[in-house]
Structure 1
Amino acid sequence: MRYSREHKFQTHERIVKKASVKLREKGAHGIGVADLMKDAGLTHGGFYAHFDSRDALVIEAFTHAMDRSTARWRKLSEETPVEKRLSKIVNTYLAPVHRDDLGHGCAVPALAAEIARESAKTRRVFSGRMEQMIDMLAEQFHGMPRKAARKEAVAALATMMGSLVMARVAGNGELSEEILKSGRDAVLGRANPVAKKPAKKATTSM
């Protein structure tokens, strides 16, 4: 039986979406092709009708996940007043619900350590998507020159992702909550530093 091009496209998309979730849950090396295909409701033998290699699927899967994260940030930004956009993104990212949902969360904290040991092509694609996340975050630092905003965005993203990893390691108790809050405070504190009080003028005795 021959399937239409549209059917093949839909099947391909289903495999990528399912793999995207499983890879974030179990890691890039925590699940095999057979299991990925089974989870998508397909046989192992049909894999190469859709992908040249396992690496090709991994690349598509985490690209899909990172694109979803950037799109989510974009949607939050569009729905929020300008002055509250950064805090909305940060508070949503460093939240218990995100900490506890590995399969549908940001791919970078879930996979970055493994991707660093993957092929140059895989790292290049991953890096390109991370650049998009940095650019999206830099847009939220209003009133800053572009170079300064990018620097702040890189620092913010590193803090957010590191905090999320630590919070997940700590579980879901008080320490985990403390880590999430400290991460939020660190990012938003840099973006909105407390204005220094003007020094009192010295008085001279007559």
Structure 2
Amino acid sequence: MPYPEGHKLKVRGRIIESAAKAFRTNGIREISVPVIMKGAGLTHGGFYSHFDNKEQLVLETCQYAISDTIALLQKAADQAGEEAKIEAVIDFYLSPYHRDQKELGCILPALSAEIPLSSEEVGQVFTQELQRMIDFISDLAQIDPAAGSAVMSLMVGTIVLARSVSDSKLSDQLLTAGKQNAKGLLGIARASN
């Protein structure tokens, strides 16, 4: 009996979602294809009917994960008043929820340290996806891309450090300081326009 139309695409989507959760939580190198397939509720053997290799999955997962993060941040922006959209994005990104829900969060903090050790193609896709996040921040804040890069860098760095420390009080302080300074950068960027 043949599978219904779109079945293969749905299964591929489940694999990418499983990979996104796994990579966000543990990085690329620590996660094997069998773990990803198990997370998708599938057996390891079916992987190669969807992807040529793990690198292809990494490429598509980076693109998926950034689209997912942008949609999440856009939702936070849409719930805020017109003047407070970028502030709502900063507040969400640098929230305890985002810090603690690694498997659902932004993939940039999770993979930044691994990308220089990956293939050139993975590095190129990661760069494109980072640029997409910078463009999203810049457009939403109505600031130039250089300022958007600074805000995005501060946000990603803050999350990396807030997730890295074992002291919850220090972690919360890092989030608070990151929010204040990201919003401060916005003020400087907007004043110079």
TM-score by length of 1: 0.86
Residue 116 of structure 1: SS of its match in structure 2? helix
The one of 164, 170, 191 equivalent to 2:159 is 164
- Residue 64 of structure 1: CA displacement? 1.1
Q: Which amino acid aligns with 1:78?
A: D
Give the match for residue 185 of structure 2.
Answer: 190
Q: Aligned equivalents of 1:140 and 1:58: distance in 2?
A: 28
User: Which has the greater radius of gyration?
Assistant: 1
Q: Is the 8 A contact 1:92 1:98 kept in 2?
A: yes
Residue 134 of structure 1: SS of its match in structure 2? helix
Q: Aligned equivalents of 1:40 and 1:190: distance in 2?
A: 41
Alignment of 1:24-103 (within 5 A): 24-103=24-103
Unaligned 5+ segments in structure 2 are 189-193
Q: Aligned equivalents of 1:139 and 1:169: distance in 2?
A: 30
Q: Aligned equivalents of 2:145 and 2:135: distance in 1?
A: 7
Alpha-carbon displacement from aligned partner over 1:104-131 (angstroms, at most 9, x marks no partner)? 0000001111122211111111111111
Give the match for residue 137 of structure 2.
Answer: 137
Give the match for residue 111 of structure 1.
Answer: 111
Give the match for residue 169 of structure 2.
Answer: 174
Q: 1:35 and 1:152, CA in 2 relative to 1: closer, same or farther beyond 3 A?
A: same
Q: Aligned equivalents of 2:102 and 2:161: distance in 1?
A: 13
Q: Is the 8 A contact 2:74 2:89 kept in 1?
A: no
- Give % identity: 34
- Residue 172 of structure 1: CA displacement? 5.4
Residue 113 of structure 1: SS of its match in structure 2? coil
Alpha-carbon displacement from aligned partner over 1:110-159 (angstroms, at most 9, x marks no partner)? 111112221111111111111111111112333x5xxxx21111000000
> How much is the aligned-residue C-alpha RMSD, in angstroms?
1.5
Q: Which amino acid aligns with 1:39?
A: G
Q: Aligned equivalents of 1:45 and 1:109: distance in 2?
A: 31
Q: 1:114 and 1:5, CA in 2 relative to 1: closer, same or farther beyond 3 A?
A: farther
Q: Is the 8 A contact 1:16 1:64 kept in 2?
A: yes
Alignment of 1:115-130 (within 5 A): 115-130=115-130
- Residue 77 of structure 1: CA displacement? 2.5
Q: Aligned equivalents of 1:2 and 1:118: distance in 2?
A: 38
Q: 1:66 and 1:110, CA in 2 relative to 1: closer, same or farther beyond 3 A?
A: same
TM-score by length of 2: 0.91
- Residue 5 of structure 1: CA displacement? 4.2
Q: Is the 8 A contact 1:16 1:60 kept in 2?
A: yes
Alpha-carbon displacement from aligned partner over 1:37-70 (angstroms, at most 9, x marks no partner)? 1221211111110001111111112221111111
4+ residue segments displaced more than 6 Å: none
Give the match for residue 7 of structure 1.
Answer: 7
Moved more, 63-72 or 104-113: 63-72
